[in-house]
A and B are shown apart, each in its own frame.
Chain A
Amino acid sequence: MTRVVLNRRSLLAAGGSVLATGVLTSGVSGLLLPARAAGLAPTETMSGGANNYRKGAAIVERIGKGGFWMSGTVRRAGDGAPLAGQRIQIWAHTVEGQEHEPQSHGATLTDKDGKFRLEMPQIIPIFGQPHGHLAYDSGEFKTVFLRPVMRSAKETSLEAHFVLQPV
């Protein structure tokens, strides 16, 4: 019986500390904001997100020969409304070229639901992590650079989501 009490106590303690750290670390934005209406926080630029960016990548049907899918959504901060027609630039180190090379870059537009999807060559690990780069920098909203990491180098798709803030 002592065991059960001890377990419950440790469980409570653990749960309490998880809650405490949760509130402390994610603070206002993580836990409290979603409960409020019209509170969707804008996406922050990720560290290293802008690395090897090339300005003005062209809108393409597909980057290179394809085989890998980059997809995601673009929404407006605050009310979370989907943003149509937004230009998202995508680049990565793929089987067809390094990150900085022009053929590794391309752009696409979001559809009426704020969704985008661009086929590109398979992303491979570079600098120790298989990752892609995405940028929004069309000016209407604040510029955001993302750098999502694949869970495994074997995956053939990757997602990234933008919540943009008007300038």
Chain B
Amino acid sequence: MKGWRSARAILIWAALALAIGVPIAAAAASEQLAWRGPVYILAGFAGIIALGLVLVQPLLIGGYLPGLSAYRGRRAHHWIGGALAVAVVIHVAGLWFTSPPDMIDALTYASPTPFSPFGVTAMWAIFIVALLAALRRRLGLRLRTWRIVHIPLAIVIVAGSVVHCLLIEGTMETISKAALCALVLAVTVKVMIDLQVWRKRRTARGENVARQ
């Protein structure tokens, strides 16, 4: 029984490492990198890593990663949320440096590229969540209010990031990119179902909230 549990834990962590590591490795092997400057390359990889972090977030909050207590999972969710905001800042700043007019078009929703508005919308949702999470105590937001704000924004972040990423023709390899995006969607849907986020009730996981 214990052997199976540790084997399962190893498998889950290995799967997560592959889900994020394979797309990054595939992008690192892209021939497109030869024609790009270092800042543009950094910006691209910051975006890929951000998508990987978007996968980790629902896994943490759903308690799907073995070896992490609910408390530690939530703490990690908090810190990775911050890292996600930083990754997005690096992504946008690097692209701005590479081609200012293209980035201004994207940020003002005037870009000819269909994926830009999805990415920019997800970016604002990430910034709003990060800001509110940092200020939650100071603002005195109760858990229920917080969830009402965070869950719709989380859906915007996931949907926006996935569409943004899928429509881009860049360094990411198509199949590993699609697989990562599918995983992000699947885990998000699973955590929404498991936590029954649409129900107005105190919580399904009373013990977690009690410790907040």
Q: Which residues of A contact B (CB under 8 A)?
A: 46-52, 93-95, 98-100, 124-130, 147, 149, 153
B37 contacts across to A, CB distance below 8 A: 98
Are B101's CB and A52's CB within 8 A? yes
| 20 further interface pairs, Cβ-Cβ under 8 Å (given A48-B111, A51-B101) | A46-B112, A47-B105, A48-B102, A50-B101, A51-B99, A52-B101, A93-B35, A94-B35, A95-B35, A98-B98, A124-B32, A124-B35, A125-B32, A127-B113, A128-B113, A128-B115, A128-B116, A128-B167, A128-B168, A147-B112
B95 lies within 8 A of chain A by Cβ: yes
> Which residues from A are CB-within-8-Å of B112?
46-49, 147, 149
**Are B102 and A51 neighbours in the complex by a CB distance under 8 Å?**
yes
Residue interface bits B26-52, CB-to-A below 8 A is 1, else 0: 000000101101000000000000000
In the bound complex, what is the Cα–Cα distance between A153 and B32 (angstroms)? 10
Residue among A52, A94, A99, A127 with max Cβ neighbours from chain B (10 Å): A127
**CB–CB A52/B99 < 8 A:** yes
Give me the 3 closest cross-chain CB pairs, A-B, nearest first. A51-B101, A128-B168, A48-B112
Whether a CB of chain A sits under 8 angstroms from the CB of B207 is no
Partner of B99, one of A94, A95, A100, A149: A100
Interface residues of B (CB under 8 A from A): 32, 34-35, 37, 95, 98-99, 101-102, 105, 110-113, 115-116, 167-170
Q: Is the CB of A130 within 8 A of B169?
A: yes
Q: How far is the CB of B48 from chain A (nearest CB, A)?
A: 13
Instruction: Choose among B115, B169, B170 the residue with the greatest number of A CB atoms under 10 Å from its CB.
Output: B169
Of A93, A95, A98, A126, chain B has the most CB atoms within 10 Å of the CB of A126
> With A and B bound together, what is the CA distance between A116 and B57 in angstroms?
53
Would you call B99 and A129 a contact (CB within 8 A)? no
Closest-by-CB residue of B relative to A130 is: B169
